[in-house]
């Protein structure tokens, strides 16, 4: 059978663009179908880019406030300026994901919402497109929990918060996960009075417990945090939003000008008519095998819509796997073991692999844990940033199974652990790498030195060396 295209990609976000560009670069005929007027997806428009631009702008305001103090009027002006900087940053980065750029690569772009007609055919506006292979990269949307009254109030999500131009005096954030934390702290630093309500026993629930408790301590100095709270109802009171919750058997409420909901993501599957193509979903996301094939082997799913790990770098990794498999005919598996992530709070949180609790469960007594407090590192001491920790988890032979840190810039300087893990090197090999003093990643090499201290200096070999030195030298 003849098809219009070799590859049709649904969704022009991080995953879809990686597939479209990769497939076109290998000479495949590619259709890219995106319902929004611009390419770039959530990451560019409502996710990574605006949030990181906001965090940076908020840091500048916060530092200014710390140095000179700021009046309400100054906060109002700086808030508007910060939000305009966010919008400009998105516009600037849009150039990388411009339609013209992809057209030049040979990709045909359709601006339509699409759905399956059958497993090789997509309805695209008034026409139908057929493709030999189809890649679904439809992304995800914010979950809005079924809280009583939620539909009657004007709540914000990551899709609307970046459009604010006037500083709200107060904000209540439901959800103390990654989005909640990054945005709550940024807003607090812009002079907004923020309260975070988290259902779990702690914020940053996916992080190593010890790291999360440091985060909670630091962030609670800038925002109010209520944990183990069940939100029961929201309503409006004199133009303000009131969130009612229960905690440990008693009731409470928080009132604020604005409400942000950040309680997780759901895969965008509902308008794709997946059933017409015979594509199976699992727990609301598109079910894929390790080769990222759906229940129909010529249809693949990458990025947030397959429910694996909702990060841009994962969508990119999965996109490359699909190019190898769908375009080049290889059999590459997606692997998630070595995927790091960073929570861009101040201080930043770096996360790679298993937490200490998970690693203990898996490795038991074979697990080695190496920790350096930032208060033991000259650079962080010099900068008065001593609230932080590096924690590396290895097997007894030094294979890295988890790496975690909280500290200023941890997302950058901790990646050296991710790099050596990616290169299949042992953790202790970092001890032999000379780090410029006093670069922050000395905290990592300091931690690697602990491996040798444990292995060598506390061992029988060390006793033998001491005997040799004392006896013969």
Ligand X SMILES: NC(=O)c1ccc[n+]([C@@H]2O[C@H](COP(=O)([O-])OP(=O)(O)OC[C@H]3O[C@@H](n4cnc5c(N)ncnc54)[C@H](O)[C@@H]3O)[C@@H](O)[C@H]2O)c1
Nearer to ligand FAD, 271 or 465 (CB): 271
Distance CA 19, CA 211 (A): 35
418 sits near ligand X (criterion: CB under 6 A): no
What does 121 bind: ligand X, ligand FAD, none (CB cut-off 5 to 8 Å by kind)?
none
> Which of residues 7, 23, 30, 33 is near ligand FAD by CB under 6 A?
33
- Out of 11, 191, 388, 408, name the contact with ligand FAD by CB under 6 A: 11
Count Cα atoms within 13 angstroms, Cβ side, for 291: 17
How far is 199 from 300, CA to CA, in rounded Å?
A: 35
By CB under 6 A, tell whether 4 contacts ligand FAD: no
Which residues on adjacent β-strands are paired with residue 30? 7, 107
Q: Establish if 48 lies at the interface with ligand FAD (CB under 6 A).
A: yes
> Choosing among ligand X, ligand FAD, none, which partner's interface includes residue 15 (Cβ < 5 to 8 Å by kind)?
ligand FAD
Within its chain, how far is the Cα of 185 from the centroid?
A: 16
Q: Which does 315 bind (CB under 5 to 8 A by kind): ligand FAD, ligand X, none?
A: ligand FAD
On the CB side of 288, CA atoms within 13 Å amount to: 27
Minimum Å distance from CB 345 to ligand FAD?
11
In Å, how far from its chain's centre is CA 447?
25
Return the residue nearest ligand X (CB atom): 177
Decide if residue 307 touches ligand X (CB under 6 A). Answer: no
User: Would you count residue 155 as binding ligand X (CB under 6 A)?
Assistant: no
Residue 137 binds what, of ligand FAD, ligand X, none (CB under 5 to 8 Å, by partner type)? Answer: ligand FAD
Which of ligand FAD, ligand X, none lies near 268, with the C-beta cut-off 5 to 8 A by kind?
ligand FAD
Considering only 27-35, 77-85, 190-198, 325-333, which stretch makes contact with ligand FAD by CB under 6 A? 27-35
Binding-site partner at residue 175 among ligand FAD, ligand X, none, CB < 5 to 8 Å by type: ligand X
Residue 462: CB atoms within 10 A of its CB come to 14
Find out whether 315 and 323 touch, Cβ atoms under 8 Å.
no
Query: Using CB under 6 A, which of the segments 340-348, 356-364, 419-427, 455-463 binds ligand X?
Result: 340-348
Residues 105 to 124 in contact with ligand FAD, rule: CB under 6 A? 113-114
Judged by CB under 6 A, does residue 345 bind ligand FAD?
A: no
What residues form DSSP beta bridges with 369?
393
Question: How many residues of this chain interact with ligand FAD, rule: CB under 6 A?
Answer: 37
Q: Is residue 199 a contact residue for ligand X (CB under 6 A)?
A: yes
Q: Which of 4, 182, 207, 348 is in the footprint of ligand X by CB under 6 A?
A: 182
Q: Which is nearer to ligand X, 4 or 207 (CB)?
A: 207
182 vs 318 by CB, closer to ligand X? 182
By beta-carbon proximity to ligand X, the closer residue of 342 and 420 is 342
Query: What residues between 263 and 292 interact with ligand X by CB under 6 A?
Result: 263-265
> Which range of residues in 231-239, 288-296, 302-310, 419-427 is near ligand FAD by CB under 6 A?
302-310
Query: Does 36 help bind ligand FAD (rule: CB under 6 A)?
Result: yes
Looking only at the bridges linking them, the beta strands covering 140-142 and 30-34 are unpaired
Region 178-197 residues binding ligand FAD, contact defined as CB under 6 A: 179
Which pairing describes strands 285-286 and 348-353: parallel, antiparallel, or unpaired? unpaired
Nearest to 32 by CA among 118, 104, 82: 104
Instruction: Find the binder of ligand X among 27, 145, 278, 422 (CB under 6 A).
Output: 145
Are 241 and 257 in contact by the 8 Å Cβ rule? The answer is yes
Q: Which of 139, 176, 340, 398 binds ligand X (CB under 6 A)?
A: 176
Q: How many residues appear in the chain?
A: 473
Residues that bind ligand FAD (CB under 6 A): 10-16, 33-36, 41-43, 46-48, 51, 113-114, 137-139, 158, 179, 268, 271-272, 303-305, 310-313, 315, 344
Residues that bind ligand X (CB under 6 A): 145, 174-180, 182, 197-200, 205, 231, 262-265, 310-311, 341-344
């Amino acid at each position: 059978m003849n098809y219009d295209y070799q590859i049709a990609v649904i969704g022009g976000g991080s995953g879809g663009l990686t597939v479209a560009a990769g497939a076109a670069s290998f000479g495949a005929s590619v259709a890219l179908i995106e319902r929004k007027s611009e390419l770039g997806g959530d990451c560019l428009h409502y996710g990574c880019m605006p949030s990181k631009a906001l965090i940076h702008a908020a840091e500048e305001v916060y530092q200014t406030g710390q140095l000179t103090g700021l009046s309400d009027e100054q906060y109002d002006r700086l808030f508007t300026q910060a939000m305009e900087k966010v919008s400009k940053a998105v516009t600037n980065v849009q150039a990388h994901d411009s339609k013209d750029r992809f057209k030049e690569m040979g990709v045909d772009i359709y601006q339509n919402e699409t759905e399956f007609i059958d497993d090789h055919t997509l309805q695209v506006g008034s026409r139908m497109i057929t493709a030999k292979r189809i890649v679904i990269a439809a992304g995800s949307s914010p979950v809005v929990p079924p809280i009583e009254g939620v539909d009657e109030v004007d709540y914000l999500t990551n899709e609307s918060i970046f459009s604010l131009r006037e500083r709200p005096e107060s904000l209540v954030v439901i959800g103390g996960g990654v989005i909640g934390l990054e945005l709550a702290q940024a807003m607090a630093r812009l002079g907004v009075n923020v309260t975070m309500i988290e259902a779990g026993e702690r914020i940053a629930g996916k992080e190593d417990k010890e790291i999360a408790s440091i985060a909670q301590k630091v962030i609670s100095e800038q925002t109010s945090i209520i944990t183990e709270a069940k939100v029961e109802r929201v309503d409006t009171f004199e133009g303000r939003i009131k969130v009612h919750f229960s905690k440990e058997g008693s009731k409470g409420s928080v009132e604020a000008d604005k409400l942000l909901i950040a309680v997780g993501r759901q895969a965008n599957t509902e308008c794709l008519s997946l059933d017409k193509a015979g594509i199976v979903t699992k727990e609301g996301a598109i079910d894929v095998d390790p080769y990222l094939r759906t229940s129909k082997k010529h249809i693949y799913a990458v990025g947030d819509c397959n429910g694996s790990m909702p990060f841009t770098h994962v969508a990119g990794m999965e996109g490359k796997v699909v190019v190898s498999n769908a375009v080049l005919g290889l059999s590459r598996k997606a692997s998630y073991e070595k995927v790091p992530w960073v929570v861009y709070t101040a201080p930043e949180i770096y996360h790679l692999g298993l937490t200490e609790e998970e690693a203990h469960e898996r490795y038991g007594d074979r697990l080695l844990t190496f920790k350096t407090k930032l208060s033991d590192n000259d650079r962080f001491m010099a900068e008065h940033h001593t609230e932080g920790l590096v924690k590396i988890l290895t097997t007894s032979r030094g294979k890295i199974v988890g790496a975690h840190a909280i500290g200023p810039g941890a997302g950058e300087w901790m990646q050296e652990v991710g790099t050596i893990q990616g290169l299949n090197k042992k953790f202790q090999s970092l001890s032999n790498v000379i780090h410029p003093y006093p670069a922050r990643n000395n905290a990592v090499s300091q931690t690697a030195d602990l491996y040798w201290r444990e292995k060598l200096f506390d061992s029988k070999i060390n006793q033998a060396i001491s005997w040799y030195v004392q006896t013969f030298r």
